[in-house]
Amino acid sequence: MLTDNILSRGAVMKKIIQNTLLGSDIQDILIDGTKISGIGAGLVSSHPEAQIIDGKDTAAFPSLINGHTHSPMTLLRGAGDDLGLHEWLTECMWPLEDKYTDEEFYWGNRMALMEMVRTGTGFFNEMYFNPHLALKALEETPLKARINFPIMDGMNPEVGKKQWKDCERFFEETTAPQGVQLGMVLHSVYTDSRESIEWVRNFAADKNLPIHIHLSETEKEVQDCMEAHEGLSPVEYLHQLGVLSQRVVAAHTVHLSETDIEILSDTGVNVVHNPGSNMKLASGVFPYKALRDKKIPILLGTDGAASNNNLDMLEEMKLAALLQKVHTGDPTLMSAEEIFEIATKKGAEIFNTGGGVIELGKEADIILMDLKSPALFPAWNLISSMVYSASGMDVKTHISSGNVLMEDYKIPGYERVLEEAGRCFDRLRS
């Protein structure tokens, strides 16, 4: 497997984004290493050594935080559309995933990273097989991420035992690069045996690792769980097993009872709204207001590109806001400011990325939006424009930890990744 080592982590050279719109003023942003070290007008003259990034006709925003995705599923984008979750998983996704080799995992990850750079995602919380290949892909495109080792035993503890060993080895052998965190995946209560759930609970507690899980995504998941576990919902079942805590990030959480919401609130679980995927698979509607009113930490996620069908967090913000409004009949629910904050500042706080806002001392995780794009003109309210009219295609420049990953729409190495991912696509459909 060839690599093209375009960029490395921990940029050292000073950079200045010149003449970008930040808030209501045209400013320069000075980046020293990975951090923002100056904001103001005319910084170029006092830092003649700095590399200049042209910010003219752009607006600067923090890059976006994707709370739940499956990166290598970019190769399955468009396969098995218009099916319900369980049929989609068992008849389409899992048979195709069985054909994945290291090549598909690696280039699927690379392709996802290209899409995230292109559309302004600066951090993502991953859930997929072969996390070492996700880490390898991140060497080439140094975004921030949480990469999680997956336990999914198909309800067979004997399969689980092998995965537990692999997991122990992964954590012994792996050091996360700067900006990348490591964690665990429990796929779901319908794909993991009680033994594996308990093993993950103990291992994560011992090593103080986060746990990423699918939770109460469909009505079927809840009903099946209640039948199998003496009337307990997935939330109640996991709570009884002692899994739920502040270290848990639970994706979907669509079908929740009042008791479930109390438990999530009491245990400090973080939840992820995935509106695109939930609508496409007709899973249901995330109970945003009830969760927000209980002050449960809320994230936004795209899910994988096979159920969305893209990783565009700008589009996801719009879907989230529109879904909540039409579902509740309340047009004031989930304002542009609210969902923008969830996808940036609050997401960054939950994942402790060091970014999420453009302020002195923060990580330089910045996107420059193209103010010449029709979607961003006129800018009555730029946050509204970001949520309701812009898309990821309007991101012109993307900086992650001070590394310029895309400048003026150009991403180094994109053609090569497209070519290799195309070869994988040909193999999968043959």
Q: Which is nearer to Zn ion, 32 or 303 (CB)?
A: 303
Question: What minimum distance in Å lies between the beta carbon of 213 and Zn ion?
Answer: 10
Directed axis angle between helix 157-173 and helix 194-207, to 10°?
20
List the one residue out of 99, 112, 193 whose CA is nearest residue 145: 112
Sites for Zn ion among residues 15-44 (CB under 5 A)? none
Q: Which is nearer to Zn ion, 61 or 190 (CB)?
A: 190
- Site stretch for Zn ion (CB under 5 A), options 129-137, 283-291, 301-309, 405-413: 301-309
Q: Which is nearer to Zn ion, 97 or 303 (CB)?
A: 303
Question: What minimum distance in Å lies between the beta carbon of 299 and Zn ion?
Answer: 13
Residue 316 is a binding residue for Zn ion (CB under 5 A): no
Q: Which is nearer to Zn ion, 126 or 394 (CB)?
A: 126
Q: Which is nearer to Zn ion, 110 or 280 (CB)?
A: 280
Of the candidate residues 303, 312, 316, 338, the single one contacting Zn ion (CB under 5 A): 303
- Site stretch for Zn ion (CB under 5 A), options 87-95, 257-265, 303-311, 342-350: 303-311
Question: What minimum distance in Å lies between the beta carbon of 274 and Zn ion?
Answer: 7
- Tell me the number of residues near Zn ion by CB under 5 A: 1
3-class DSSP string for the chain: CCCCCCCCCCCCCCEEEEEEEECCEEEEEEEECCEEEEEECCCCCCCCCCEEEECCCEEEEECEEEEEECHHHHHHCCCCCCCCHHHHHHHHHHHHHCCCCHHHHHHHHHHHHHHHHHHCEEEEEECCCCHHHHHHHHHHCCCEEEEEEEECCCCCHHHHHHHHHHHHHHHHHCCCCCCEEEEEEECCCCCCCHHHHHHHHHHHHHHCCCEEEEECCCHHHHHHHHHHCCCCCHHHHHHHCCCCCCCEEEEECCCCCHHHHHHHHHHCCEEEECHHHHHHCCCCCCCHHHHHHCCCCEEECCCCCCCCCCCCHHHHHHHHHHHHHHHHCCCCCCCHHHHHHHHHHHHHHHHCCCCCCCCCCCECCEEEEECCCHHHCCCCCHHHHHHHHCCHHHEEEEEECCEEEEECCECCCHHHHHHHHHHHHHHHHC
Question: What minimum distance in Å lies between the beta carbon of 243 and Zn ion?
Answer: 18
Question: What minimum distance in Å lies between the beta carbon of 328 and Zn ion?
Answer: 24
Question: What minimum distance in Å lies between the beta carbon of 165 and Zn ion?
Answer: 25
Q: Which is nearer to Zn ion, 18 or 253 (CB)?
A: 253
Comparing every residue's Cβ against Zn ion, the nearest one is 303
Which residues lie across from 30 on neighbouring strands? 16, 38
Question: What minimum distance in Å lies between the beta carbon of 114 and Zn ion?
Answer: 20
- Site stretch for Zn ion (CB under 5 A), options 105-113, 129-137, 295-303, 374-382: 295-303
Question: What minimum distance in Å lies between the beta carbon of 70 and Zn ion?
Answer: 6
- Site stretch for Zn ion (CB under 5 A), options 93-101, 168-176, 178-186, 299-307: 299-307
Question: What minimum distance in Å lies between the beta carbon of 361 and Zn ion?
Answer: 34
Q: Which is nearer to Zn ion, 150 or 354 (CB)?
A: 150
**Whether 58 contacts 21, CB under 8 Å:** yes
CA dist 362 to 53, 205, 220, 288, Å? 18, 30, 43, 29
Q: Which is nearer to Zn ion, 140 or 303 (CB)?
A: 303
Residue type at position 255? H
Q: Which is nearer to Zn ion, 303 or 365 (CB)?
A: 303
Which residues contact residue 26 at a Cβ distance below 8 angstroms, ignoring those fewer than 6 apart?
A: 19, 20, 41
Question: What minimum distance in Å lies between the beta carbon of 85 and Zn ion?
Answer: 10
- Site stretch for Zn ion (CB under 5 A), options 115-123, 178-186, 302-310, 379-387: 302-310
Q: Which is nearer to Zn ion, 244 or 272 (CB)?
A: 272
Q: Which is nearer to Zn ion, 104 or 394 (CB)?
A: 104
Question: What minimum distance in Å lies between the beta carbon of 273 and Zn ion?
Answer: 12
Contacting positions for Zn ion (CB under 5 A):
303
